[in-house]
Amino acid sequence: MFNKKHEIADKFSISEHTVIHPGDCLDLLKTVPSETIQLIVTSPPYNLGKEYEKKLKLETYLDQQAAVIRECYRTLAPSGSICWQVGNYVENGYIIPLDAVLYPIFSDLGLRLRNRVVWHFEHGLHCTRRFSGRYETIIWFTKTDDYVFNLDPVRVPQKYPGKKYFKGPNAGHYSCNPLGKNPGDLWVIPNVKSNHVEKTEHPCQFPVELVERLVLSMTNEDQWVLDPFLGTGTSIIAAIRHGRRGAGAETVPKYIRLARQRIRQEMDGTLRTRPMNKPVYDPIEAGNSLTVAPWTGNQGMAQPSLLDKSAGKQG
Ligand SMILES: C[S@@+](CC[C@H](N)C(=O)[O-])C[C@H]1O[C@@H](n2cnc3c(N)ncnc32)[C@H](O)[C@@H]1O
């Protein structure tokens, strides 16, 4: 079994296991030898003017991202993957999907898009002039066609696990893979907001379980996972949990402290996280009494269905 307990180094060296560079990601990347990193996974700043970023002109922001992505490409192993997790850039109430404007930077380097995973969650800001945003994306690129992809460790339970062929040469045999099914490219995973067990004072963490799925499928044991915009250390936590090496950079001292603290807790086995593949909370199944809207009362005054012809008559 892989030993999870290692020193957290400040400087990258391939003999280390865990590295947090307290500073700019380009400075970290410059110290990483070419073709050493198996998975680069990150959620970069979205240029929204959050507490850790200065809102820039979109072109300037994209130029900065391009400089980081070029260095990521250089450090990426030939069998490696880059996963860039992004949402929307918002300008005067209209949106620009960041994956769309970042895509040319990756494709111009020759990176190959394998999936655009939609990450759906239930919580977030309530918009009044457009539909509330309830998904972000992960664009997954590989450097070559000869890339690591391990499906079995990330299979999810089948909907009908006992289903069998009822005719033909396989009659009586299970019709689906007993190890579970491919999780697909729509991932329903709660985001790290208010009551989430992983919530810290960082405004934009991604959940450990989301990165675990990427680490398990795109790397093998002992390989390197690097996050240029580390935040609270989530990517390194997912990496060392599964016997991989982890590195990242972060500029804000309070997040560096949080990342170190969480990574040490992970090494000690005391970090609380939401388990991978846990179904999303279902209030009816959980027996929660607050499942009927108060305005429906007992008189069956439920909101009329839009398809119900009588709905139109209620003014
Ligand atoms: C969206 S957050 C990432 C959060 C992270 N995924 C987590 O789960 O905690 C982006 C982070 O990048 C950091 N950052 C911004 N510019 C940076 C740079 N040039 N180098 C390193 N980190 C940077 C910010 O301080 C912020 O914590």
DSSP E strands in the chain: the ranges are: 8-9, 18-22, 37-42, 76-86, 88-91, 94-97, 112-120, 135-142, 186-188, 224-227, 245-250
Cβ–ligand 1 distance for 205 under 6 Å, the answer yes
Query: Can you tell me the mean pLDDT for 264-274?
Result: 96
Q: What are the tokens at 50?
A: 């959050």
Q: Check: CATH 3.40.50.150 for 8-314? A: yes
Measured over the CA atoms of residue 179, residue 84, residue 230 and residue 205, the dihedral's sign is negative
Residue 69 near residue 106 (C-beta atoms within 8 A): yes
Task: State yes or no: pLDDT of 289 exceeds 80.
Answer: no
pLDDT at 194: 87
Q: Is 293 helix (H, G, I), strand (E, B) or coil?
A: coil
CA 68 vs CA 32, 75, 114: distances in Å: 13, 11, 20
The pLDDT value given to residue 254: 97
Output Rg (C-alpha) for the chain, integer angstroms: 22
Q: What is the pLDDT of residue 91?
A: 87
pLDDT per residue as tens digits for the range 70-103: 999 999 999 999 999 999 998 888 999 999 999 9
Ligand 1: nearest atom to the Cα of 68: 19
pLDDT of residue 296: 52
What does the pLDDT look like over 107-145, one tens digit per residue? 999 999 999 999 999 989 899 999 999 999 999 999 999
Å from CA of 215 to ligand 1 middle: 19
Q: How far apart are CA 55 and CA 91, in angstroms?
A: 11
pLDDT at 190 over 80: yes
- With a 6 Å cutoff on the Cβ, whether 249 touches ligand 1 is yes
Residue located nearest, by CA, to atom 3 of ligand 1: 231
Q: How far apart are CA 210 and CA 219, in angstroms?
A: 14
Residue 256's pLDDT band (cuts 50, 70, 90) = very high
Rounded mean pLDDT of the chain? 90
| pLDDT band of 294, cuts 50, 70, 90 | low
Ligand 1, atom 27: nearest CA belongs to which residue?
231
pLDDT at 169 over 60: yes
Q: What is the pLDDT of residues 209-223, one digit of tens each?
A: 999 999 999 999 999
Give the Cβ contact number of residue 111 at 10 Å: 22
Output the CA 233–ligand 1 centroid distance in Å: 10
Per-residue pLDDT, 279: 83
> Which tens digits make up the pLDDT trace of 29-69?
999 999 999 999 999 999 888 888 888 899 999 999 999 99
What is the CA(174)–ligand 1 centre distance, in A?
A: 46
Model-level pTM?
A: 0.89
> Would you say the CB of residue 47 lies under 6 angstroms from ligand 1?
no
User: pLDDT-based confidence at 280, cuts 50/70/90?
Assistant: confident
244 token code pair: 């991989």
CA 251 / ligand 1 centre spacing (Å): 7
Smallest CA separation from ligand 1 atom 7, residue: 205
207 lines ligand 1 (CB under 6 A): no
Model confidence at 171: pLDDT above 60: yes
